[in-house]
Amino acid sequence: MESQGTTVGTVNRHSQLGLTDGQVIDMYRYMQLGRKYDERSLLLQRAGKINFHVSGIGQEAAQVAAAFALDRQNDYFLPYYRDYAFVLSVGMTTRELMLSVFAKAEDPNSGGRQMPGHFGSKRLRIVTGSSPVTTQVPHAVGFALAAKMKKKKFVSFVTFGEGSSNQGDFHEACNFAGVNKLPVIIFCQNNQYAISVPVHKQLGGKISDRALGYGFPGVRVDGNDPLEVYRVVKEARERAIAGEGPTLIEAMMYRLSPHSTSDNDLAYRTKEEVDENWKKDGIAAFRTYLTGLGLWSDEQERDLAAEYNLELKEAIAYAENAPFPKPEDTLLHVYDDSGLKGGA
């Protein structure tokens, strides 16, 4: 099944989806916050302030749209390492993300232990991710199984890249979710490259078509069209809550930045290819849409840029000055010592 979007223009599409003007403006703000955070992190790494950064530039529109289509007060989220715009949309702050990239003790994700992009927040129901790619997919299915067993009205939402769709974890998770009709949304961000391997060397067909073999719907959607992504994810959530089982969504997009700060992307793709895909950037298209409806202006854009520049400056200053983990903290959060403290 393939979802067909419409050309971005001045026709009000968001009202038809039940989104208010305020909500779509908030969506745009989160897209820009994810982009600005990402760009600033790249600069910090180049300046030698932080060691490593994995970029998600080009994927923000789909991430924010998906977050807005979910229940951000009750659902469980299992993002992968490019999902800055997503985790910001569900409640993480730029300060928390900067504490992570600076590897500081206050980092809420891992206490400064993990590499950047390993998100985790019990408060926000962001399930801690591991370094081996795709392991988050069976974990998401486990959370969905818990929802069904406990008769709770939440879904689990998991993201991954198209390279991960070839891992055994993906197929085993899809099979188990399909057999048990679990409330999980399996969201592939197909950004065309698994590090340096182009999509035509990874896949013999559509990822979304694989859902058929596991007995549930698969949808391919334009990941640069946030309103269409919102519609598809919202429908998938409604199906899941109604007991109709999982949905596999393949959001088509392009990774506009290198794989990471350790990567020379022009060793495996051309500048012309990247430049051509910049013309399809979902953030720019969504700004054009909002401007065409009179909901956004150049003055608002300037104000937003100034607001985010100040926010990021403050977040960086805080993270730079925050303490590093102490050597004696190494074993914290590794073992369950509740019994030693008289806990249950």
> Hey, which residues are catalytic here?
255, 259, 268
Q: What DSSP character marks residue 166?
A: G
Distance CA 242, CA 154 (A): 11
Write the single-letter amino acid at 186: I
Q: How far apart, in Å, are the Cα atoms of 196 and each of 37, 80, 89, 132, 201?
A: 24, 18, 29, 17, 10
Distance CA 308, CA 3 (A): 34
Pairing mode, strands 247-252 and 218-222: parallel
Can you tell me whether residue 167 is helix, strand or coil? coil
Instruction: Give the sign of the dihedral formed by CA 128, CA 67, CA 40, CA 193.
Output: positive
Comparing C-alpha atoms, which of 230, 213, 212 is closest to residue 221? 230
Distance CA 127, CA 130 (A): 10
Helical segments of 9-161, H only? 21-46, 60-69, 84-89, 94-101, 136-149
Distance CA 27, CA 225 (A): 12
Can you tell me whether residue 187 is helix, strand or coil? strand
Distance CA 117, CA 269 (A): 24
